[in-house]
Amino acid sequence: MQATAKAHTNIALIKYWGKRDEALILPTNNSLSLTLDGFYTKTTVIFKEELEEDIFSLDDELISGEQYRRVTVFLDLIREYAGKPNLYAEINSMNEVPTAAGFASSASGFAALAAAATKALGLTLTEHELSRLTRQGSGSACRSVYGGFAEWQKGMQNDGTDSYAVPIAPQDHWDIRVAAVVLDAKMKKVSSREGMKRTVDTSAFFKGWVDSIPHDLDLIKDGIENRNFEKVGQVAEANCLKMHATTLGAVPPFTYWHDSTMAVMQTVQAMRENGIPAYFTIDAGPNVKVLYLPEHEEKVQETLRNISGVTDVILSRSGQGVTYL
């Protein structure tokens, strides 16, 4: 009743921003991501008859509070599914995701947890089933089941049975790279969960966001298939800007951007004017991720490191899906 799994984080090129069901974590739009090799979580789950509650440690530290609650509530789903509602576990997770890089470690975390826990209980799930389950831990995590590019299909059913991610192109389809630009900005004040809820409930721009997604998806999937970097970059950058625009239309309005976020965005646009194709995307925090091709790695890295307010630049490639160790 023990298993270890490893899952990588992912960066959305078409963002998931808005839920139609908060309890089941069902999104209002499809999203599309690239799994990254540089950032992962490794999790061991050991179910033990003698335990009276779950014990969760992250990076060798015992976790309590909200983070613990999210993990046990998620494990309840798996226990239920396995017909073992009173069987608790020891969970040990190690994060190779520098929290400062502003990557949602919940994506790799819940994907690794879902894989390890189901395996430990002897359940055999297809990738679709694993993705659907993982979704209920954290939405964006359902895309981390796959390597390379994946699309989370929002689904139409109220019970979420058709809401899971599917592979779009495998890890080795295309050597596209991502630089995570770490800024000296403070931690985010509005979590992605809270931010997307406020946006759905109040943003004057939310409908425009949702309506624009199908066209963005068509364009980016064509770009990925044909390895058209400019096309993929343009769509991803514009999609990110639209997502962030919805936060300015919310009540009360908010933004995840800092001065240094803007500085990186402007530098990336200036790089393009100087003939270096690079595009940015930003999640629910101040840090920026920059897409580029291998031949421009040196120049992109050097340029990003020289921006004032940048404390680190972490380079990553296309990563693999969930693996069992």
DSSP codes, 46-97: EEETT-SS-EEEETTEE--HHHHHHHHHHHHHHHHHHT-TT-EEEEEEEEES
Asked if 54 touches ligand DP6 (CB under 6 A), the answer is no
State which residue, 134 or 301, has the beta carbon closest to ligand DP6: 134
State which residue, 87 or 185, has the beta carbon closest to ligand DP6: 185
Write out the binding residues for ligand DP6, residues 181-220 only, by CB under 6 A.
Answer: 192-193
Asked if 9 touches ligand DP6 (CB under 6 A), the answer is no
Sheet order of strands, 288-292 included: 279-281, 288-292, 177-183, 310-316
* CB of residue 160 to ligand DP6, shortest distance in Å: 12
Count of residues near ligand DP6 by CB under 6 A: 14
Q: What single-letter amino acid sits at 294?
A: P
DSSP codes, 298-319: HHHHHHHHTSTTEEEEEEE-B-
Write out the binding residues for ligand DP6, residues 87-126 only, by CB under 6 A.
Answer: 104, 106
State which residue, 247 or 267, has the beta carbon closest to ligand DP6: 247
* CB of residue 192 to ligand DP6, shortest distance in Å: 4
Q: What single-letter amino acid sits at 13?
A: L
Q: Residue 260: which residues within 8 A CB-CB, separation 6 or more? A: 183, 184, 185, 286, 307, 308, 309, 310
* CB of residue 232 to ligand DP6, shortest distance in Å: 16
* CB of residue 165 to ligand DP6, shortest distance in Å: 11
CA angle, residues 96, 184, 299, in degrees to nearest 5: 75
State which residue, 239 or 267, has the beta carbon closest to ligand DP6: 239
State which residue, 165 or 268, has the beta carbon closest to ligand DP6: 165
Asked if 12 touches ligand DP6 (CB under 6 A), the answer is yes
Burial 53-74 (b: 16+ CB within 10 A, else e): ebbbebeeeebeeeebebbbeb
Task: Give the H or E element holding residue 149.
Answer: strand 149-153
* CB of residue 104 to ligand DP6, shortest distance in Å: 5
Asked if 316 touches ligand DP6 (CB under 6 A), the answer is no
Query: Which residue has tokens 């069901």?
Result: 21
* CB of residue 247 to ligand DP6, shortest distance in Å: 10
Write out the binding residues for ligand DP6, residues 277-306 only, by CB under 6 A.
Answer: 283-284
What is the distance between the alpha carbons of residues 225 and 128, in angstroms, rounded to a whole number? 22
Structure tokens at 96: 């190779």
Asked if 140 touches ligand DP6 (CB under 6 A), the answer is yes
Look up residue 126 and give its DSSP letter: -
* CB of residue 19 to ligand DP6, shortest distance in Å: 7
Residues of this chain that interact with ligand DP6 (CB under 6 A) are 12, 15-16, 25, 31, 104, 106, 138-140, 192-193, 283-284
